[in-house]
Amino acid sequence: MKPSLGRWARWGWLITTIAMGAALLVTAWLGRQRARAVTSTLNRGQSMVLFESVRQQSRAMTEPPDRAQLDSLLRLHQAAGLRYLAFFDSSGAVIAQAGEAASAVHPPARRPPGPPALEQVGSRVRIWGFTALAPPPGPPQGRQPARARPRLNFLMEFEPLVAERLASEATQTFVLSALVAAALIAAAVVFWRLSMKQEATERRLEQQRRLGALGEMSAVLAHEIRNPLASLKGHAQLLAEHLAEGSPDRRKASLVVTEAERLEALTGDLLDFAKSSPVDLQPADPAALVAACADEVARDGFVIRAEGAPRVWRLDANLMRQALTNVLRNARQASPEGTRPEATVGRSDGSLVLTVRDFGSGIAPGDEKRIFSPFYTTRTNGTGLGLAVALRVVELHGGTITAGNHPDGGAVFRIAVPAG
Ligand SMILES: Nc1ncnc2c1ncn2[C@@H]1O[C@H](COP(=O)(O)OP(=O)(O)OP(=O)(O)O)[C@@H](O)[C@H]1O
Ligand SMILES: [Mg+2]
């Protein structure tokens, strides 16, 4: 069957939506990664600003700062995230401090070389710096060298507020994108499943409509053929009886009788196929039903296994008998001399399961569905209605019938009927 436009549209829609969802997710993820990468640059920039600001102010001092001066410095930079500030003398002893340090502070014995070093301490960033105070006041004395500027180590801790906000916004965007992508994909999958269901329903309705039309036509034809056929057969029988035994004319008259009987069987099949009475589900013993159908087809012609069979199942026994005899008869017809097809009755996933396996040549590959079409036959005397009837009966029970081949050869038919 050619894939319909609807199917392409459905797949196209599903794939496009999944791709869009994935793209959204990847973009948001990359954005988040980039924001994280930028945070260290931001932290460094912010620390340099704070560092330079504190250093500038300390360079204006002639005396080491006291607690009040550090408090006011801390307040000045509080909004920028400054949380702790401390100055140390050359021996590493604290001169003054403001705020609370994130953890114990161990000042380096010497001036840290190079640019200020950043260190992450919990949620804070810690910076060690080095500064020189302004020279003590007093006029320069002659050629004496300028007075030494007292040198001090200092420590700052700040909360990287800007970087944190950036990272948390990027995470929020990522989570939001993930939710949107998930909703998009879920909606696409739901739409896809609904449209699959709808297509299956439409297909089934169309098939039922076609079968219905075919059934109606068959019923009219069968009905119209029946009466003239009965009179044809009756007269041919009478004629044969009047003709001399063993004469060529009697053989010809008998042939008419045989062919008329074949046509009679066909009209019977057609009427069975056309019957559209509603199913009448009644408690029935499925194992007994299978045994009775097997006997009807060929006494002792089957091996029946019914160990796992449920004792009762709601079935329309008359209809199910039609389905089973057709499948069993096919199995007998396909079986080589000396083999007995096997029929099993059991239960699986809450359904009654009946299987019929034979030891014949099996179903031709690719024919597994086609053999259920009305009038499809490969037998010279077949009408091709047996499996079409079986399919209709099983579907009327809300069940399924499938055909396949056994790995060791031979056809296997499986009928599953849900609890009704
Ligand atoms: N057990 C089987 N092994 C192999 N082929 C099978 C088997 N059962 C059915 N088939 C194939 O399926 C076709 C259709 O079967 P179906 O019973 O509908 O019609 P039929 O047996 O040909 O005629 P009738 O209407 O008289 O039953 C058969 O002609 C045969 O080709
Ligand atoms: Mg058949």
What is the pTM (predicted TM-score) of this model?
0.56
Helices 5-59 and 161-242: angle between axes, nearest 10 degrees: 170
Q: Which pairing describes strands 151-158 and 342-348: parallel, antiparallel, or unpaired?
A: unpaired
Is 151 near ligand 1, meaning CB less than 6 Å away? no
Token pair belonging to 396: 């009327």
Instruction: Decide: 377 in ligand 1 pocket, CB within 6 A.
Output: yes
Instruction: Check for a shared fold between 5-132+150-167 and 278-418.
Output: no
CB atoms within 10 A of CB 34: 11
In CATH, the architecture of 5-132+150-167 is 2-Layer Sandwich (3.30)
* CATH code linked to domain 278-418: 3.30.565.10
pLDDT computed for residue 361 by the predictor: 95
Question: Residue 1: its pLDDT value, please?
Answer: 46
Domain ranges of the chain: 5-132+150-167, 278-418
pLDDT at position 325: 95
pLDDT at 267: 86
Question: Which residue has the CA at smallest separation from atom 8 of ligand 1?
Answer: 330
- What is the DSSP annotation of 325-390? HHHHHHHHHHSPTT---EEEEEEETTEEEEEEE--SS-PPTT-TTGGGSTT---STT--S-HHHHH
> Residue 382 and residue 371: Cα distance in Å, rounded?
12
Ligand nearest to the CA of 381: 1
- pLDDT reported for residue 138: 63
Q: What's the 414 CA to ligand 1 centre distance in angstroms?
A: 15
Q: Which two tokens stand for residue 213?
A: 């039309």
Report whether 312 contacts 284 (CB < 8 A): yes
Q: How far is the CA of 224 from the centre of ligand 2 (A)?
A: 24
* 378 touches ligand 1 (CB under 6 Å): yes
The C-alpha atoms of residue 50 and residue 124 are separated, in whole angstroms, by 14
pLDDT digit of tens for each residue in the chain (420 aa)?
445 667 788 888 889 999 999 999 999 999 989 988 888 888 888 888 888 888 888 888 878 888 998 999 899 888 888 999 998 887 888 889 999 988 888 776 665 556 677 888 888 988 888 877 777 766 655 555 555 667 788 889 999 888 888 889 999 999 999 999 999 989 989 988 998 899 888 987 887 788 778 778 888 888 888 889 999 999 999 999 999 999 999 999 999 999 999 888 888 888 877 776 678 899 999 999 999 999 999 999 999 999 999 999 999 998 999 999 999 999 999 999 999 999 999 999 999 999 999 999 999 999 999 999 988 999 988 889 899 989 989 988 999 999 999 999 999 999 999 997
Binning the chain into helix, strand and coil, the percentages to the nearest 5 are 50, 15, 30
**Cβ-proximal residues to 363 (8 Å cutoff; 6+ apart), any chain:** 371, 403, 404, 405, 411
**Ligand 1 nearest-atom number relative to CA 413:** 1
How many residues in total does the chain contain? 420
- pLDDT attached to residue 148: 65
Cβ of 403 less than 6 Å from ligand 1: no
Pocket test for ligand 1, best of 379, 394, 413 (most atoms within 8 A of CB): 379
